[in-house]
Amino acid sequence: MNNQERHQDGKLEQSIQTDFSKSMSYGDYLHLDSILSSQHRCSDHHDEMLFIIIHQASELWMKLILHEMQAATQSIHKNDLEPSFKMLARVSRIQHQLIQSWSILSTLTPAEYMGFRDKLGSSSGFQSHQNRLIEFAFGNKNAHMLSVFQHQPELYAIMQQALHTPSIYDAAIGALAARGLPVDEAALDRDWSQPYQPNASVEEAWLTVYRDVDQYWDLYELAEKLVDIGSQQQIWRFNHMTTVERIIGNKMGTGGSSGVTYLKRALDQQFFPELWSLRTKL
């Protein structure tokens, strides 16, 4: 029997391990027993499984975004910019994955969603603490959002800490100052729980970077990585809004929000403002 015939007889290669009674298997490592048993439909509707898995998978990707964002921000705080570039490039790819997931959810028609929507109670994506942490990490701070998490004291404490922690853009502005670029003290030492407000000195510092890319290559690369993730987050928001509009129109959200109207307002909240305004002045 030749090699091709051995392959075709369906038998496993002799070196492949089959006994996992005393060693860790793929399923053990990934805890697939708990992951794959966590899809509990509240109705008998076929399409509720899609709805659950899309949101659970999105939360896993968001967990990875937060993991990468935290490490990238720490790297920038240390004025060690290069490691952050890989992390932020990965964040951008993850965002692309999340953006594509809306196209899968959009296969859910209004009639299909109405078949189980009433079973969701007051639960809503608005209550995703990880999405809120991502917004905080990007600099979109809003203390009022924390009220949604008051019923979970440990989670509420995490959200409070994130609210008062400098965003990745605050870290980037600190990196500008560390390189000797003049930045107003008001942009370097402020109440981190407040949303960032555009600052003329910050815009001028970024303009200096963009006008002398050779001298400030690492800061320039950081700026472009931030533009990448900022624009991807806006695309995610837009696709979220259009998917919701496609499925429920202008109905109120299950969590009590105005639904599409609220999501449209969120699109007006821009990240890293000076990195956009400088383009007009270059």
Measured at the CA of 108, the angle between CA 102 and CA 110, to 5 degrees, comes to: 120
DSSP 8-state secondary structure symbol assigned to residue 148: G
DSSP classification of residue 38? -
174's enclosing H/E stretch is helix 168-178
**Cα separation, 144 vs 46, whole angstroms:** 37
Q: In the structure encoding, which two tokens stand for residue 264, read together?
A: 């449209």
Q: How far apart are CA 158 and CA 70, in angstroms?
A: 14
The reply to whether 240 sits in an annotated binding site is: yes
Annotated binding residue at 156?
Answer: no
196 is in an annotated binding site: no
- Is 54 annotated as a binding-site member? yes
- CA neighbor of 115 nearest in space, from 53, 42, 39, 57: 42
Q: Which of 113, 130, 112, 86 is nearest to 228 (CA)?
A: 86
For the chain, the first-to-last Cα distance in angstroms comes to 71
Question: Is 254 within any annotated ligand binding site?
Answer: yes
Q: Per the annotation, where are the binding residues?
A: 51-55, 113, 117, 240, 254
Q: State the binding site for heme.
A: 240
Which positions make up the binding site for substrate? 51-55, 113, 117, 254
